[in-house]
Amino acid sequence: KDDKRMYFNNPMWPGEAHSLEVKEILFKERSKFQEVLVFESATYGKVLVLDGILQLTERDEFAYQEMIAHLPLCSIKSPKNVLVVGGGDGGVLRELARHSSVELIDICEIDQMVIDVSKMFFPDLAVGFEDPRVHLHIEDALEFIKRVPKGKYDAIIVDSSDPVGPAQDLVEKPFFEMIANALRPGGVLCNMAESMWLHTHLINDMISACREVFKGSVHYAWANVPTYPSGVIGFILCSTEGPPVDFRNPVNPIEDLEGALEHERELRFYNSQIHRAAFALPSFVRKQVSCL
């Protein structure tokens, strides 16, 4: 009975759980912010778990990292300055490296232990930190963002954990206001935005807050990632007032970017067709999620 209670009591997805067979626990420690766990699974490679919530597996991480990075960066011409919030594993940085127009990548991750663990167990993701354009800031993003000069970034990617724990404030309007301030006119935000099967309420709240703050456009896109709850994950894409951004049609197609496809790691999920398709929403979502 206790096992059952433990298994099904996550507030983000009560009453359901997805299992992976554990072959071996490789790392388990409590950082200042969360419990960090890495295990070798039977069929998905190594898995990173924070506070009991799966963050990535070696087998399907590319779908999430490619989408959260390229949806925003392929929606504007020649992005130069980019901020990543969270993303301490380095996977998003690895994807940003494909964009040769990018000159500066700031990353603000709250937990040094996530970075250390990624360097130890996920070298294919942590490789992202080796790019000389990357500048690492270990801090709560809520504090970091306050000091960013107005209009500094062309794109901001919020690759943060679910809003229970240290990422709680990152889905609220005050944070979005600071993000909008940190973006140039016509700059873009791509924010991890949960599952349309499980979190319509949260998605609705995030979209309404974004609509109030971002005077350009606000859209929802999604991708399937088998090991995230319900097998899908969404993204909110917003632009600030300025040159209009039509997220649904990539103006900076990845196929035309020099070096992006010939990179030593090939793209395994994202392409321009997937980009366009990601904005097509099932009817129940169009009905339940307001203002899309």
Which residues are identified as catalytic?
Answer: 159
Query: Taking the C-alpha atoms of 44, 50, 53 and 57 in order, what is their torsion angle to the nearest 10 degrees?
Result: -20
167 or 278: whose CB is closer to ligand AAT? 167
Q: Determine which helix (DSSP H) or strand (DSSP E) holds 142, and give its type and residue range.
A: helix 141-144
The residues in 169-208 that bind ligand AAT, with binding defined as CB under 6 A, are 170, 192
The footprint of ligand AAT on this chain (CB under 6 A) covers a number of residues equal to 27
Work out whether strand 232-239 and strand 218-224 pair parallel, antiparallel, or are unpaired. Answer: antiparallel
Does residue 89 bind ligand AAT (CB under 6 A)?
yes
Q: Answer yes or no whether residue 35 interacts with ligand AAT by CB under 6 A.
A: no
Judged by CB under 6 A, does residue 108 bind ligand AAT? yes
142 scored as a contact of ligand AAT (CB under 6 A): yes
**Least Å distance between CB 78 and ligand AAT?**
25
Do 225 and 44 meet the contact criterion of CB atoms below 8 Å apart?
no
Residues 125, 127, 131, 132, CA torsion sign: positive
State in angstroms the smallest separation of the CB of 258 from ligand AAT.
Answer: 26
**AA identity, residue 145:** I
Which amino acid is present at 203?
A: I
Q: How far is the CB of 191 from ligand AAT (least distance, A)?
A: 11
Task: Establish if 166 lies at the interface with ligand AAT (CB under 6 A).
Answer: yes
Q: Specify the residue, 79 or 87, whose C-beta has the smaller distance to ligand AAT.
A: 87
Contact between 107 and ligand AAT by CB under 6 A: the answer reads no
As given in the structure block, the two tokens for residue 201 are: 């309420």
Largest Cα–Cα distance of the chain, in whole Å? 57
- Compare residues 26 and 136 and give the one whose CB is closer to ligand AAT: 136
According to the binding rule CB under 6 A, does residue 234 interact with ligand AAT? Answer: no
Q: How far apart are CA 57 and CA 8, in angstroms?
A: 21
CA distances from 169 to 109, 141, 172, 235, 259 (A): 14, 9, 6, 17, 37
Tell me which stretch binds ligand AAT (CB under 6 A): 82-90, 148-156, 247-255, 266-274: 82-90
State how far the Cα of 108 lies from the Cα of 91, in Å rounded to an integer: 14
Contact residues: ligand AAT, CB under 6 A: 50, 55-56, 85-89, 91, 108-111, 114, 140-142, 159-162, 166-167, 170, 192, 228, 233
